[in-house]
Amino acid sequence: MPSDFSRRDFLKWMSAGAGAAATGGAVWLAGRNQPPPATATAAASPRSSAPDGSARPGLRSSAPMTAGDPAGRVLVVIELSGGNDGLSTLVPYGLPGYYDLRSATAVAESDLVVLDDEVGLHGALGRLAARGVAVVQGVGSWSPDGSHFEMMRRWWSGDNDGTAGYPTGFLGRLADAVGDPAAPAVALTIGSGNHPALISASAPTLALPNASASGYLVGADPEDVMRATFQGSLARFVETDADGWLGRVRRVGRQTISFADRIDGIAEPTEGDELEYPGSNLGQALRLTAALVAADTGVRIVHVPMGADFDTHENHAGRHPTLLGDLDAAVDVFLGDLERRGLADRVLVMTTSEFGRRARDNGSGGLDHGTASMAMLLGPVNAGRYGAHPSLTELDGDDNLVATVGLDSYYATVAEGWFGVPAGELFASPPEVLGGLFG
């Protein structure tokens, strides 16, 4: 993507994407011939105050944050592994059927940050609600599957119905589209092992749990013969191409050393960091993410598996608020850190999760595997509700919610709106995009 990508270009991308781009207000670009839902309100006209006139957080009506230069933009994808229950995150307290479905796990209206007379964000997300969240409702697959692994595979590859057979991951393709080919890493997953979502055709992508060990690979004082020889040998081990797994080990080794060179020293916490970020996996991963963005390492996409278990088959009501609370605390500190560093307009946060959970709770006080869920976007995005909330009274044959927004549509919306990458570059069959989230 050219570095002088302008807002005009951006709008052109938007309109080229679906032929009916939204340049203001929220437009539901009817996917799969669904009628525009009555609930598709947007930032342009949010219900931002309560009937009594008091201000309500969540749907912020103030001017949205201006997005930064697209060439410097970063996408942070937080994966809520295990299957996050949409109905406990954006709670449809005012929609018919909710309290009938959920005898053990319903969230009371008093525990919500109410957004309007239909839905509210779970109170455990209070800090994020106060910042303003764009919620995309009903995200899922047109032909859902109950398997974690089948649905993770689809989400990771951006394959709505499981038939596209992409050899790459969605974030990997996005990295191919937006990355500087000379950067040591365009996309990064915060974790110990490579992630299928980041498999790319050409862009270098890496997996890293922390940055503290870079000094073992690079930066030896030449006077320190032992250390310098060790590091020099590591580099020489991997400098030549080879076939098969040997070649792969060497290639990743080269990328790692080159990336280590770029990030050496950044893991040193800036003043106050250690005090603010939660000690959770997510908190520490986001602390590293902020440091990476600030260091201008060429990383454009950071994938953060939350490292928590959203697979709440039992005791959902006890476990889920804790998970949301960790998300709320960690992302709030992260966004605050970005603001302090002057980076807030460059970083968009999005959530994913392989599926939502069953509409009815089970006898274990939990929720079995389901289908459609919801997703959240934070940062330079117009807060509001997007997409149609799934019906709570017309379920599918397996007692599941019916998706209203394809997972590929959700991805395409972010790809076009944030990076200006048209859906046609990323999907075999370009999905519809949602309007109104950006700009």
Partner 1 sequence: MKERFTVVSCAAVHGAPMADPALLAHVLRRVTFGPHPGQVEALGELSPPELVEQLLAAGPNEPAEPELGTDEDYNLLPRWWIDVMGDPSAGLHERMVWFWHGHLTSSLGKSEPALLLRQHRLLRTHALGNFRELMQAITVDAAMLHWLDGNWSDASAPNENYAREVMELFCLGHGQYTEADVRAGAYLFSGWYVDGENGNEVTFGADWGPAEGRDFLGSWATNATEAIDVICDHPACAPFVAGEVYEHFVGEQPDDTVRAELAAAFRDTGLDIATLVAAVLRHPTFLERRGNRPRSALEFFLAARAVIEAPIEHWVLYDMGQIPFEPPNVAGWPGGGRWVSAGAFFAKAQLAWDNSWDTVVADADDPVGVILAKAGLYEVSDETRAVLEDAAWSVESRRDRATLLHALVVTCPEFSLA
Binding interface with partner 1 (CB under 8 A): 81-82, 145-150, 185, 191-195, 206-210, 213-214, 216-217, 225-227, 229-230, 233-234, 236-240, 242, 244-246, 248-250, 252-253, 255-256, 259-260, 309, 311, 313-314, 361-364, 366, 368-369, 398
> Nearest distance from residue 369's CB to partner 1, in Å?
7
Q: Which is nearer to partner 1, 134 or 299 (CB)?
A: 299
| Residues 306, 381: Cα–Cα separation, whole Å | 22
Our CB check for partner 1 shows the closer of 180 and 314 to be 314
The total number of residues written for the chain in this structure: 439
Nearer to partner 1 (CB atom), residue 182 or residue 226: 226
CB 105 → partner 1: shortest distance, Å? 12
Q: Would you say 42 or 263 has its CB closer to partner 1? A: 263
Contact 244, 297 (CB under 8 A): no
Least distance CB 345 / partner 1 (angstroms): 28
Nearer to partner 1, 186 or 335 (CB): 186
How many whole angstroms separate alpha carbon 373 and alpha carbon 103?
19
* Residue 1 beta carbon to partner 1: minimum distance, rounded to whole angstroms: 25
User: 241 vs 339, which CB is nearer to partner 1?
Assistant: 241
- Residue 109 or 399: which CB sits closer to partner 1? 399
Residue 45 near residue 316 (C-beta atoms within 8 A) = no
Smallest distance from partner 1 to CB 14, Å:
35
